[in-house]
Chains A and B, each alone.
Chain A
Amino acid sequence: MNPKVKYRVGKSKMVQAFIVMLAFLITLPLLAIILYIFKEGITKINWTFLTHLPKPVGESGGGIANALIGSIILVFVAAVIAIPIAILCGIYLSEHKHGKLAYWSRLCVDVLQGVPSIVTGIVVYFWIVKPLGTFSALSGSIALAIMMLPIMIRSTEETLKMIPFSLQEAGLALGLPYHKVILRIVLPCGVSGILSGIMLSIARVAGETAPLLFTAFGNPFLNTNIRKPMQSLPLLIYNYATSPYDDWHDLAWGAALILLFTVLLLNIITKITTRKWNIQL
């Protein structure tokens, strides 16, 4: 072979090897994080850990029951607020591809997706916490709901756009009113895509801390009243991880393991279902 060609082919091979190496280096930090958290966290998790409240400083043991229940309540209320709004907005955007309102609405959804979570926290503080005069789980849920909206709206819009228009026409031709065509025909066809959007957004906000700092605030005791401050897993990890006490670090490791695996599991389930039903998100 001509030496010049040899050199070029060799260079191409070298570059390819280099790029493959760089690309696969990314698996290292993820593996390192998962393995380290697993190693540290698995020894802390037992029945007491899941069912008891954190002990005060100096006493070892205790658990994170308040954060577990708090996280579930916070995310559940957020989902209840966000799902109807997101689905209706997704319907509007998929039905009106052009038009002024649709354009601005779509732009605002894009903007909302980029808003830093801490800014959402500040704004909800002034909307809910200050008028009510107390930190509350409700305000935390509203902040989380605002963060869930863009993901859900996008997945609803994209899913509904792919449903053939002839389906809608058939319904209208039978004399069905518009809302029944949308709610009984179009929406059920896209239910799998919408559901995976919901799961994805739940997975995303379950680990959010920043918007909860000034809203749900955290609470060392068990609380199920959404008008009072409430603890959540990410808040607990943040507070205990930055504390100087080893007992609290232990609680944080256990909580981190539970949070990490819940979030990753939700993501993997979503991925498997979207692949099974062939949904593009």
Chain B
Amino acid sequence: MEFSIKKRARHSYQQIKAENFFRRALIIIALVMVVLVLGIFLTLIIESIPSLKSLGIKYLWGKTWDPVNNVYGAYPFLVGTLLTSFLALIISIPFSFAIAIYLGEYNPKGWLSNFLKNTVELIAAVPSVIYGFWGVMVLVPIVREIEIKMEILPYGIGIFTSALILAVMIIPYAASLGREMIKMVPSPLKEGAYSLGATRYEVIKNIILPYSKSGLLAGVLLSLGRALGETMAVTMVIGNTSLMPTSIFSPGNTMASVIANEFTEADHTVYLSALIELGLVLFLVTVVINIIGKSIIKRFTKE
């Protein structure tokens, strides 16, 4: 009798130990996430110290990038990144908002809207290297034809082509978020407008869009974050030149594509560190954009 009590006590002691171990493991893993992100941030800062020291802040405004002569200026890449991303955003917004309005308001149920919804999700699933490959083989010749017709230098590759591919790639992000936001517009508001004699278009313009505008903005921000960090598809079609882009049809480079191209070739500390500093800028910008976007969504869904 005494023996079995002891045994039971030992058993429950072990259970409690296991329980505590499990709780602690959960806390440690949750901490690991924080450590991981801080670690990424710190690694980028530490590794870009040589370039921060020797090039200073004017690195970001330097107009020439010439690793052979040890001259580093990131301005062409900043311009390239901003041009491709914003061009892609401008091209994609009409489409993503149209999809959001169609799926959220005109036709939220049924096989046709299911088909469109799945198509949009599959567009997000296609690997970016495949977009790049398709872009090189199909889109570049088409753009070259257009450029010949417009009587400008027919590169084919360049900022415009990358923006086209990027636009297709980022449509799903703004579209699916926008759909959720438009679905959340309370129907009493819409019914009120209809009962006052508003047409469908007037309801969309005066009720739905104003009500969901912060949510739509968040979707646009998230797709901007995607566009800024997208590497492979852009690297394959942008042309990879460190010269300052002169028009939207000229070849260029983005921050991500220059890292992808030159990281393994960088043979001295400052060169490598200058590339990592680009990575740091990219990291900070995308993190800020994502946090703003997510907090807008959070506030919107709480209301």
User: Which of B47, B116, B132 contacts A241, CB < 8 Å?
Assistant: B132
Q: How far is the CA of A120 from the CA of B230 in the complex (A)?
A: 12
Beyond A26-B116, A210-B260, 6 extra complex contacts between A and B, CB < 8 Å: A23-B102, A108-B36, A114-B286, A115-B40, A209-B128, A242-B136
- Number of contacting residues on B, CB 8 A? 82
Set of chain A residues within 8 Å of B23, measured between Cβ atoms? 178-179
Shortest beta-carbon distance from B92 to chain A in Å: 10
Please choose the segment from A9-17, A42-50, A57-65, A188-196 that sits at the chain B interface, where 4 or more of its residues have CB less than 8 A away: A9-17
- Min CB distance, A42 to chain B, in Å? 15
Cα-based distance from A89 to B102 in the complex (angstroms)? 37
Please choose the segment from A91-99, A162-170, A219-227 that sits at the chain B interface, where 4 or more of its residues have CB less than 8 A away. A91-99
Tell me the nearest residue of chain A to B22, going by C-beta. A179
- Chain B residues with CB under 8 Å of chain A are 15-16, 18-19, 21-23, 25-27, 29-34, 36-37, 39-40, 43-44, 47, 94-95, 98-99, 101-103, 106, 116, 118-123, 125-134, 136-138, 168, 171, 175, 199-202, 204, 222, 225, 228-232, 236, 256, 259-260, 263-264, 276, 279, 282-283, 286-287, 289-291, 294
A213 on the B face (CB < 8 A): yes
The contact sample of 14 A-B pairs, CB cut-off 8 A, is A12-B202, A18-B98, A22-B95, A23-B98, A23-B102, A33-B126, A114-B222, A149-B36, A179-B23, A214-B264, A238-B232, A260-B127, A260-B130, A267-B121
A118 at the interface (CB under 8 A from B): yes
Q: Which residue of B lies closest to A24 (CB)?
A: B116
Write out the residue numbers on chain A whose beta carbons fall within 8 Å of the beta carbon of B33.
89, 105, 108-109, 112, 149, 153
Task: State which of A92, A177, A237, A242 has its C-beta within 8 Å of the C-beta of B130.
Answer: A237
The answer to whether B32 touches A117, judged by C-beta atoms less than 8 angstroms apart, is no
Range class of the A interface residue count: 35 or more
A140 CB → nearest B CB, Å: 14
- B31 contacts A105, C-beta separation under 8 Å: yes
Q: How far in angstroms is the closest Cβ of chain B from A6?
A: 11
Chain B residues whose CB sits within 8 angstroms of the CB of A54 once the complex forms: none
> CB within 8 Å of B: which residues of A?
8-9, 11-12, 15-16, 18-20, 22-27, 29-30, 32-33, 36-37, 40, 85, 88-89, 91-93, 95-96, 101-102, 104-105, 107-120, 122-123, 125-127, 146, 149, 153, 177-179, 182, 203-204, 206-210, 213-214, 217, 234, 237-238, 241-242, 249, 252, 256, 259-260, 263-264, 267-268, 271
A116-B19 in contact given A22-B95, A213-B263, A214-B263 (Cβ < 8 Å): no
Interface contact B37-A112, CB-CB below 8 Å = yes
Docked Cα-Cα span, A209 to B236, in Å, equals 12
In the A-B complex, the 5 residue pairs with the closest CB atoms: A207-B127, A116-B229, A114-B290, A179-B22, A22-B98
Is A91 in contact with B126, judged by CB distance below 8 angstroms? no
On chain A, the residues within 8 Å of B133 by CB distance are: 237, 241, 252, 256
Q: Are B32 and A89 in contact (CB under 8 A)?
A: yes
Given known A-B contacts A37-B130, A116-B286, A263-B127, A89 and B30 have beta carbons under 8 A apart = yes
Quote the shortest CB–CB distance from B267 to chain A (angstroms). Answer: 14
- Kindly state the separation between the CA atoms of A32 and B256 in the bound complex, as whole angstroms: 27
Whether the pair B232, A210 counts as a contact (CB closer than 8 A) is yes
The answer to whether A93 touches B202, judged by C-beta atoms less than 8 angstroms apart, is no
The distance in angstroms between the C-alpha atoms of A149 and B9, with both chains bound, is: 40
Assuming the contacts A37-B134, A260-B127, asked whether A92 and B30 have C-beta atoms less than 8 A apart, the reply is yes
Known contacts: A30-B119, A30-B122, A112-B36. The answer to whether A208 contacts B131 by CB under 8 A is: no
| Residues in B neighbouring A32, C-beta threshold 8 A | 134, 138
Say which residue of A111, A207, A234, A260 sits within 8 Å of B291 (CB atoms).
A111
**How many cross-chain pairs have Cβ atoms below 8 Å apart between A and B?**
245
User: Chain A residues with Cβ under 8 A from B40's Cβ?
Assistant: 115, 119-120, 123
Contact yes or no, B279 A207, CB < 8 A? no
From known contacts A108-B36, A119-B282, A123-B40, infer whether A91 and B123 are also in contact, taking CB-CB under 8 Å: no
Taking the closest CB of chain B, its distance from the CB of A168, in whole angstroms, is 14
Q: How far is the CA of A12 from the CA of B290 in the complex (A)?
A: 35
Q: Whole-angstrom distance between the alpha carbons of A113 and B293 in the complex?
A: 13
- B119, B131, B228 — which one has the most chain A CB atoms within 10 A of its CB? B119
Are B168 and A23 in contact, with the CB atoms below 8 A?
no
Pick the residue among B27, B29, B37, B95 that contacts A25 (CB under 8 A).
B95
Bound-state CA distance A234–B122 (Å) is 18
Q: Which of B34, B125, B260 contacts A108 (CB 8 A)?
A: B34
Q: How far is the CA of A185 from the CA of B222 in the complex (A)?
A: 36
- Asked whether, in the complex, the Cβ of B232 is within 8 Å of the Cβ of A209, the reply is yes
Contacting pair A26 B99 (CB below 8 A): yes
Residue of A with least CB distance to B113: A23
Residues of chain B within 8 A (CB-CB) of A89 are: 26, 29-30, 32-33
Q: How far is the CB of B12 from chain A (nearest CB, A)?
A: 9
Q: Which A-chain residue is minimally distant from B172 (CB atoms)?
A: A26
Given the interface contacts A23-B95, A85-B32, A117-B229, does A110 sit within 8 Å of B294 by beta carbon? yes
> Is the beta-carbon distance between A29 and B168 smaller than 8 angstroms?
yes
Residues of B within 8 A of A96 (CB): 30
